[in-house]
Amino acid sequence: MAKFRATAKEFARIASPYFRSSDRWWGRGLLLVVIALQLFQVWLNVQFNAWYNTFYTALQDKNWDVFLYQFGVFTVLAVFFITTAVYQLYLQQWLQIRWRGWLTEAYLGRWLADGTHYRMRLKGDQTDNPDQRIAEDIRLFVNGTLDIGIALLGSVVTLISFVVILWNLSSATPLMIGDASYQIPGYLVWAALIYSIIGTWITHLVGRPLIKLNFDQQRFEADFRFSLVRLRENAEEVTLLAGEPAEAERLRDRFSHVIQNWHGIMSRTKKLTFLTAGYNQVAIIFPFLVVSPVYFFGTLTLGGLMQIAQAFSQVQSALSFFVTAYSSIADWKAVLDRLAGFEESIDWAQGLSATAPRVEFISDGAGTLHVEQMAVGLPNGQEIVHLSDFAVAPGERILVTGPSGSGKTSLFRALGGVWPFGTGTVRVPEGASVLVLPQRPYLPLGT
């Protein structure tokens, strides 16, 4: 239960801001229309259930007029159902791209604000491949949330609607075992409930490892893709240093993790598919096995038999939502965990910016760069550079030397205002700022 509450809290934190944003009326409106169309489809399924009885009874009675009329009824219901399904999907996809666009913009804004993306690298955990989290995980989260959420809503409403129908049908139809007849109110409802509970419990036991496997698969895929991009960006350096064998070995190693984890997913998915496929196949024949004795004794029409079977199928399918959707839920949960970790890393980096001691930059009219009592440290608190006082006049050049690891790079990061582990004061000329050239050249794409 604690895990469920934690998951719900993570989900609300990521999902709810969009529906309170400036785009909220579009989001809320589209969501309400999609939900309304889903409810209308459930109502159409109820009408189809009643149609089963009339249509198959007409077949049994060889009533040509009723048979033709029911074909017309079916055509009208089918046209409404197809139109509703098409526009529900269309509007859901519209909501998906608007929601994804807003989330992407929100994450990009937070990730790039005030050097947050740089400070996140200092955390050292749960910040791998932020590019995938923004480009891929947001898409998977939005699509999965809407697909699973709408399907779950449909299952709940279907269950409420068809439980009443199945209860009434099974209460009016006795349970026959041999020559004995038993009146058990709603026995098919209880049978569907027990069958679904057992199936859901076994499915959870078999499919639970898929959550971690899917989480790891996304990470391994992103690591492999990052290595390929890094090789492309450093193609000249790799060629000049004849580093292709080392890079090839690194790529093979990272791809081996992809393959190894994928085999784990294959094995677990095979077991889960055996279970769900068998579960669904047995569910097709189960109501016929239970009710067929009444039909063969002549107290139940063919239409009544088909209506009971279809109602049982709807109830069993609704109760078995977690059985059939378990793999999708496992994928979605892995994506949610990755985005939640990304959120935590952003919060950590922004909190570090707000709370950690920082080098203070002051503009004055002295015309020099003046550093006072600067101390630069590491994330663990160890001080590596301390400067009591020095000034650089316009046109003056200073060479900073020291052994590797002595803090030269960290000093310039602090002077550039990006290193959060430092204290002191830097005075710059009025209207000026410190420009630090990075060790590696950088130009934005398209320049």
Where helices occur in 297-357 by DSSP H, the ranges are: 302-319, 321-324, 326-355
In which residue are the tokens 């893709």 written?
Answer: 225
Same domain, 249 and 374: no
Same domain, 330 and 199: yes
C-alpha count within 13 angstroms, C-beta hemisphere, residue 115: 14
| Span between the terminal Cα atoms of the chain, in Å | 53
Backbone angles phi, psi at 64, to 5 degrees: -65, -45
Same domain, 368 and 283: no
How far apart CA 328 and CA 212 sit, in angstroms, is 13
Same domain, 258 and 276: yes
Same domain, 276 and 418: no
Same domain, 307 and 256: yes
446 in any annotated domain: no
Same domain, 382 and 314: no
Print pLDDT tens along the chain (447 aa): 778 898 999 999 999 999 999 999 999 999 999 999 999 999 999 999 999 999 999 998 889 999 999 999 999 999 999 999 999 999 999 999 999 999 999 999 999 887 888 888 777 655 667 888 898 999 999 999 999 999 999 999 999 999 999 898 887 777 777 677 777 788 888 888 888 888 889 888 888 898 899 889 988 988 898 888 888 888 878 887 888 888 999 999 999 999 999 999 999 999 999 988 888 888 888 888 878 877 887 778 888 888 988 998 899 889 889 888 888 998 999 999 999 999 988 888 888 766 666 778 788 767 788 888 888 888 777 888 887 888 888 888 888 888 887 888 888 888 877 788 888 888 888 877 778 887 777 767 666
436 in any annotated domain: no
Total domains in the chain come to: 2
Same domain, 138 and 262: yes
Picking from 354, 379, 395, the residue at the C-terminal end of a domain is: 354
Picking from 287, 319, 354, the residue at the C-terminal end of a domain is: 354
Contact 148, 329 (CB under 8 A): yes
Is residue 407 classed exposed, middle or buried when 0-12, 13-18 and 19+ CB atoms within 10 A define those classes? buried
Tokens of 232: 């492309």
266 in any annotated domain: yes
298 in any annotated domain: yes
287 in any annotated domain: yes
Same domain, 46 and 190: yes
Tokens of 280: 């669904």
Same domain, 407 and 305: no
366 in any annotated domain: yes
Give the DSSP H/E element, type plus range, for residue 370. Answer: strand 369-377
Same domain, 278 and 370: no
Picking from 295, 326, 354, the residue at the C-terminal end of a domain is: 354
445 in any annotated domain: no
Q: At residue 358, what is the residue type?
A: R
* pLDDT score for 118: 82
User: What residues make up the domain containing 84?
Assistant: 2-354
444 in any annotated domain: no
Contacts of 430 (CB under 8 A, 6+ apart): 363, 364, 365
Q: How distant, in Å, are the alpha carbons of 36, 110, 217, 335 from that of 157?
A: 12, 39, 35, 27
Same domain, 289 and 365: no
CATH code at 233?
1.20.1560.10
